[in-house]
Every structure is written in structure tokens, then in C-alpha cells.
Amino acid sequence: MKKTVIAGVAVLAVIIVVMVVCLTSCGDPLSEPKAGDLVAPVLNTTALTTEQKLLETGVCLPVESTKPSAFGYRTGLNVNGIDVDGYLRQEEIHFTNKNYTTLEGVVTFRGDNYRSSASYGTAVMTEYKLRKGWEVTTGELKKSVKKGEWTGSGWTGQPLLVRWDDDTKQVMNLYDSKKNKKDLVEVIYATMDGNIYFLDLDDGSATRDEIKLGFPIKGTGSLYPNGTPLYVVGAGDDMGDEAARTFIVDLVRGKVIYSYGNDDPFSLRKDNGNFCAFDSSPLFDVTTDTLIQPGENGILYTMKLNSDYDGKQITIDPSEVVKWNYETSRTGEDTYWLGIESSACIYDHYLYACDNSGDLICLDLNTMSLVWVQDTVDDSNASPVLDIDATDGTAYLYVSTSLHWTKNKSDSGEIPVMKINAATGEIIWKRTYECKTVDGVSGGVQATACLGQNNISDLVYFNVARTGGKKHGKLVAIDKKTGGEVWSVEMKYYSWSSPVAVYDSKGDGYIILCDSDGNMFLLDGRTGNLKSTVNLGKNIEASPAVFGNTIVVGTRGKKICAVVLE
């Protein structure tokens, strides 16, 4: 018989008291809400418009069309190895807005829990040109079943860039010359040859020995955002009889200290021999010491790490391991597969993720219950990006899909680009693009959207692959409010790489974009005018990250490259 897990009578009592207060109150008794804040829940929401629900109450609620029942959702929960009917988290998760990390740099895919940026600092440019810097050679990993190799860096493949404090540098296994280097910025890059590389941003020289994982890494790792030297990254495919898994790495000793996700019996995905992979970039809630990661095996994992770092060594002892799985009315073994490849974003305690079976979900992390679902039509690999409207504080999501399940007999079709209300799942606007697709190398939007700031704060950028022809692509700048296309740039070669915005000393925004022919472009974010181009030799599937004036990205040609903004 299944159990219901409730984390303590005392916690439950507190929740009941809060609910009573909320039922008799028309607002937060402690303070007025500020734009973008989530405040104490008010349960009598019937008088509120759907636009107000997340802003005014901190509560996500579905409308009739986004109720999970409309999609035939069947979900399961497992806590510490036991199947349960319900769950209440012992220590509630509440991500604070835009304060994800105390570190200097880019510490996860697209930087934070909103997936909003992969650049750090200001690019001091005078010529607005790209110049090739250093390059480092990586390798390949033989596929165990199919002929061929995993080569270089692939999708999403973003590097992490971090400036460690002096005390942390001294305890880690850095080379002595790097421990003593002032203002060292370290590049941490897991690639498809199965290795994690550690490089000096200034010249590409090694900062410490590489770590050999032996599995291809297609996704992007994450650092513990408060500076605790932990790194987590997932494998993108199995290696023969060894199933893919996620690795937790101790960066003091430079070794894997924990792994999870492989051969998980809780997975409902049975195609391709119970396939699993972990391209999604994890997130950490520092306050509760919780790791959060979706998997392509159809499971969302959360676990309390019980990490202990005394400034000299680090240990973890995972507990409260919670797993959530699902099926829908259209998930299957041949089409609309289960699983999440994209990286989830989180607002307070609400997790948003796009999946292989054409859905965008909102899930309450404190109860592990599904709140709402929106039909995104096709397989999504791009991560949802969350943005707070500066005028009223309402939260919105920007999403798009690959062209996969909905292609016609000529391998063509339309993919949607959408703005979604994060409180209700309702579509605010949608536009479509005609695309081609190729088996295994999809058209549509593989890249994650890029949000503009400062002089481009009204724009969101989407990179559409195989539109205008099978080999071609397009970068589009879309007005956030209207969904209208402000400008577009036709690309000779399609791209899976996510565009990145950088800002000069005046605050003006410029877009960095890479393509499948090895080109990197610098574009004026306001107009789309091309400022500069360099070629890095081979297909750039991976997404770049930027620290100050230096861009780092890997290629399928087995190179990690630095490019300098001048």
C-alpha cells in the first residue's frame, strides 16, 4: 500500500495556521508586494484576473484549458525508494528572484534559475570586432553501438566560467601557479569525449588535471552557486552496458563522489532499452541544500545533499531523494517519448520544463504536484526562459520546439514560438515558422531564447534552424509585448547554438551567434546589423558563455576556442 509522506506534524500545523490566516485575509499582512515578488498565498483568488494570480498571490493556478487532466496526465512519486501518494517537503524551497549565485561568472546553463543570460560583466569594446584568441584540442569518444564518435563539444555544451575567491583556490587541486594567480577565472568544460577540462580564461592553459568520466557530455554542468566547490553534470548517452547517469564532482579533490539516475526502475520510458540521459543542467536551492534535475528517462529528481564544507574538504550525504514521473495520453515508445532534455527554470517554488512529448509543465516543488500543462505541439529541446515584466511584475515564459513529431511526408512543417503566462499556462501570443528537418539533426528551435536587457529589454531573440531551406536558418528579434518580428537575419547555415547578449560600457546590447559552419557573428541587438565575424573551423552546436570581453565555446571539430571582443 502506498504511503503519504508529510514532513512532520509541526510543519503541518504551521501550514494549517498559514492557510487559516490566508482564508480570512485579502492580502499579505506583512508588506505590500513588490514587482516580481512572490508573497504569502491568498487562497480566495476568484476575484483576480489570470494576469494577477502569480504577481498578487504567489499562486499558480490553471485555467480550464491548462488543467493536467485535459492532457491525460498520470503521475507517480517515490521518496527514498518508497512509492507514495503524496508529499510535503520538510524544508520549503523558495528561490529568490535574480539572486541565484554569489559567484562571479556563469555557473549553470544560461546563468541562473530563470535561464536568462550566459554572459557576465561588461564588454569594453572600441572597434566592435571579434578576434580569435587561444584554442585547446579536445578529443572523441567511440560510440559503443552505432558507428562513429562523439566528437568535441555538442548541444547544449555551454562552458562554465568562474572567478574563485583566494581561500577556495588554495584548497582545490589547482596547480600551484594557478592557486597563486590573482583574479584567476577558470573555464570548466565537460565535452563529448568524456572529459571535464579546466582552463585559464586568459590563455587556455590547464589549471588542474582533467577528470575522465568516460561518458559523452552533451549538456551543461552546474556549480553549487554559493561557492561550495561542487560541480554536477549529466551524461548524454550510455556506453554499452553502462547506462547514462549524473555525476557529482568534488572540486577540492577532483573526483566523482556520487552518481545517480542510471538503470532507475522508477522510469516509465521503455523505448530503446529503457533509455536514459541527462542533458538538463541542474539547479541548486542553497537555503535547503537541494539539487534539482529533470532526466530524459522521464523522472524529475530532487535530493537534499547534506553538503558539509569546512573550507578544507567537502562531503555530501544525500537524503530526502524525491522522484516524480509521468505519462500522458499521447506519450509512447515510438513517438512523443517521455523525458526532459531541456533545462528547467524555476520561479520561487514553481518549476517549468518542456519535454520530448510536446508539453510545457508547471510543477510545485514543495508538494511535487503538477499545477498546469500547455501543449507546445512538438518535441522541445530549448529550455523555457522566464522573464518578469518590468511594468507590472507578471512572470512570463518564452518557449519553442524542434520539428520532429509534426513533420509531414516531405520532412517539413511549422514550429511555434510562444509567450506563456507563468501563473496559468495560457498562451499570450504565438507565431510560427516553416522549417525542414533531418532525422537525428532536427530543424526548428534547438537553441534557448535570449532575453534582452537595457536598450534591448523589449526584445527576445530566437534562433530558428532549417528555415528558408534545409541548410539555412534565421535569427529573429521579437517584440515581447506584441509578438511582432522587429527584425530578422537570414543565415546561410542553420544553428543549434543559443544566442548570447553582451553589453558595452554604455549598456547597449549586442548578440553573439554561432552556426553549423563554424562561424561566430557579432550583431547589433537593436538593429540586427552585422558588426563582425570569425570562423572557428567546424560546426558550433554548443552554446557560448562570456566573461567580460572573452567568449568561450567548443566546436564539433574537437576545439575549445576563446574569442575576444575588441
Cα–Cα distance measured from residue 263 to residue 65, given in angstroms and rounded to the nearest whole number? 36
What's the distance, CA 236 to chain centroid?
15
Q: How far is CA 388 from each of CA 97, 385, 423, rounded to the nearest angstrom?
A: 10, 10, 12
The DSSP bridge partners found for residue 186 are: 162, 200
Total number of domains in the chain: 1
CA distance 426 to 105: 34
Rounded to an integer, what distance in angstroms lies between the CA atom of residue 518 and that of residue 530? 16
Distance between CA 288 and CA 91 in Å, rounded? 6
Taking only the tens of pLDDT, the chain with its 566 residues reads 444 444 443 444 444 333 433 333 333 333 333 333 333 233 333 344 555 566 556 789 999 999 999 999 999 999 999 999 999 999 999 998 778 999 999 999 999 999 999 999 999 999 999 999 999 999 999 875 554 689 999 999 999 999 999 999 999 999 999 999 999 999 999 999 999 999 999 999 999 999 999 999 999 999 999 999 999 999 999 998 899 999 999 999 999 999 999 999 999 998 766 789 999 999 999 999 999 999 999 999 999 999 999 999 999 999 999 999 999 999 998 899 999 999 999 999 999 999 999 999 999 999 999 999 999 999 999 999 999 998 888 999 999 999 999 999 999 999 999 999 999 999 999 999 999 999 989 999 999 999 999 999 999 999 999 999 999 999 999 999 999 999 999 999 999 999 999 999 999 999 999 999 999 999 999 999 999 999 999 999 999 999 999 999 999 999 999 999 99
pLDDT at 211: 98
Q: Which amino acid is at 489?
A: V
Bridge partners of 518, per DSSP, are: none
Asked whether residue 536 is domain-assigned, the answer is: no
* Position 16 in a domain: yes
Q: Is 478 helix (H, G, I), strand (E, B) or coil?
A: strand
Give me the pLDDT at residue 215, please. Answer: 96
Structural domain contains residue 39: yes
Per the CB < 8 A criterion, the answer to whether 338 and 269 are in contact is yes
φ/ψ of 544, rounded to 5, equals -75, 160
The answer to the question of residue 174 being in a domain is: no
> What sign for the dihedral angle of Cα 291, 140, 134, 382?
negative
Which domain covers residue 44, as residue numbers?
1-62
Q: Taking a C-beta distance cutoff of 8 angstroms, is the pair 333, 270 a contact? A: yes
Q: What is the C-alpha separation between 386 and 42, in angstroms, rounded?
A: 23
Asked whether the beta carbons of 353 and 344 are under 8 A apart, the reply is yes
Backbone angles phi, psi at 13, to 5 degrees: -60, -40
Question: Residue 530 in contact with residue 169, Cβ under 8 Å?
Answer: no
pLDDT at residue 1 in the model? 46
Rounded Cα gap, residues 226 and 224, in angstroms: 6
Residue 55 lies in a domain: yes
pTM for this structure? 0.91
Q: Please, are residues 194 and 140 in contact by the beta-carbon 8 Å criterion?
A: no
23 lies in some domain: yes
Residue 451 and residue 88 in contact, taking contact as beta carbons nearer than 8 Å: no
> What does 73-95 look like in DSSP terms, one character per residue?
-EEEEEETTEEEEEEE-SS---P
CA-closest candidate to residue 496, choices 537, 526, 466: 466
Query: Which of 487, 513, 489 shows the shortest CA–CA distance to 499?
Result: 513
Residue 8 falls inside a structural domain: yes
Phi and psi torsions of 199, nearest 5°: -135, 155
In a domain, 190, yes or no: no
112 Rama class: left (phi>0) / alpha (psi -120 to 50) / beta: beta
